[in-house]
Amino acid sequence: MVKAIVGANWGDEGKGKITDVLAQEADIVVRFQGGANAGHTIKNKYGKFSLHMMPSGVFNDNTTCVLGNGVALDIDKFVNEVEDIVSKGVPQPDILVSDRAHVVMPYHILQDGYEEERLAGHAYGSTKSGIAPCYSDKYAKIGFQVNELFMPDEPLMERVNNVCTIKNALFTNLYHKPALVPDEVYEKILDLREKIRPYVGNAAAFLNQAIRDNKTILLEGQLGTMKDIDHGIYPMVTSSNPIAGYGGAGAGIPPYEIRQIVAVTKAYSSSVGGGDFVTEIFGEEAEELRRRGGDGGEYGATTGRPRRVGWYDCVASRYGCMIQGATDVALTVVDPLGYLDEIPLCVGYEIDGKEIQDFPHVTDLGRCKPIYKMMKGWKSDITGIRTFEELPAECREYVNEIERQLGFPITMVSNGPAREDIILRKPLI
């Protein structure tokens, strides 16, 4: 059976924890898109980790982790991450990297930073990890798949010279930066080739055989619906499709094999990067929620920068779950809200004096104002509770109201950062 774990919102929903929990019973965990531009924070018996390139199943001895063809692979960061977790006592993970994944080259990272510098006050809020230039080159057909790192010397050097000609036109004329030196790029490719060699294989063949063998496979998405290149708040989006519908393409498996889709959504809203954010709050109110939220505060796992925060947005989340095709919803990070007397819950948008329930396109989104329903707070610490019935009545009603507003069943509630801080529940729907 293939299950997908994906984000319903702007990313940072807690997908890493949900993947870590479900991976205990999985044979394979697959990253099917994205790169090192976002992180999944996981807390388990080995400690607290922020993963960027590796799937969240690396802490399970019986799990094979796969980086699929849809991933933007930063080889240096991948290898460093493997070495880091092993140095902290985690057993050497079993990892397979697709020979069709595209490689984030050092010049992609340079280009990402140069473009953000050029845009200045109009920048997209990139993490400067080289993701957009890597995917851009992929579709321009001048990128490097992993298998192409192993090309014979002469055709490989031809490819390098062609790329440098194109990049240097940008670097020197648009960005006014130093030109790439083809020989240096070539030598770096040889270095990357040796670093990734032990991990490379035919991931699609491996996964399709695993399906025939009735293995349990988890597809792990990066970021969320609002950052999807097609369905998100364009152009303040990522450069790939972090939705379950892309899981088949990004892993190399038939789409009809994806039988369960867990859309993860946080009990309040948060986002890194630019773009319209209807329920965003500011000032001391935002700082209090940011300080209490997440596991150690709402700060980016990759950049460390403060996340934008706001109240739960049922309109955006309902849209996110719809686009993902959710069969289940996991509601995470409920526990930090215990300090509030009342909790605003956005149940609609107002635009030009009219109430709407459907998430609008980006042109109209900036004119939307939230319509709030005030929910009574529970004013207590709910960490350590293991059944839904034991939660305070006000907390249960908060979860149930979100479920009613979404129209999708909430089957998991996370009330703490650790693997065991999870409540399985029978939904109302």
Q: Domain residue spans in the chain?
A: 2-81+205-424, 102-198
Segment 94-104 shows an average pLDDT of 98
Among residues 12, 99, 137, 335, which one is catalytic?
A: 12
Segment 329-352 shows an average pLDDT of 97
| φ/ψ of residue 409, rounded to 5 | -75, 125
Residue with tokens 């399985």: 424
Question: Rounded to an integer, what distance in angstroms lies between the CA atom of residue 212 and that of residue 202?
Answer: 16
Task: CATH number for 102-198: choose from 1.10.300.10, 3.10.20.30, 1.10.3720.10, 3.30.70.270.
Answer: 1.10.300.10
Please enumerate in sequence order all residues whose Cβ is within 8 A of that of 244, keeping only pairs 6 or more positions apart, or say none: 4, 6, 219, 221, 258, 261, 324, 325
Res 17: pLDDT: 87
Res 56: pLDDT: 82
Is 108 one of the annotated active-site residues of the chain?
no
User: pLDDT tens digit string along 345-381?
Assistant: 999 999 999 999 999 999 999 999 999 999 999 999 9
User: pLDDT tens digit string along 215-274?
Assistant: 999 999 999 999 999 999 999 999 999 999 999 999 999 999 999 999 999 999 998 778
Is 40 one of the annotated active-site residues of the chain?
yes
Q: Which fold has domain 2-81+205-424?
A: Adenylosuccinate Synthetase; Chain A, domain 3 (3.90.170)
Among residues 20, 27, 40, 61, which one is catalytic?
A: 40
Please enumerate in sequence order all residues whose Cβ is within 8 A of that of 306, keeping only pairs 6 or more positions apart, or say none: 290, 298, 299, 300
Tokens of 18: 């949900």
Inform me whether the pLDDT recorded for 396 exceeds 80.
Answer: yes
Please enumerate in sequence order all residues whose Cβ is within 8 A of that of 85, keeping only pairs 6 or more positions apart, or say none: 46, 49, 54, 58, 59, 93
Q: Could you tell me what percent of the chain has a pLDDT over 70?
A: 97
Spatial contact of 32 and 219, defined as CB atoms under 8 Å apart: yes
Res 366: pLDDT: 92
Res 296: pLDDT: 74
Radius of gyration of the chain (CA): 22
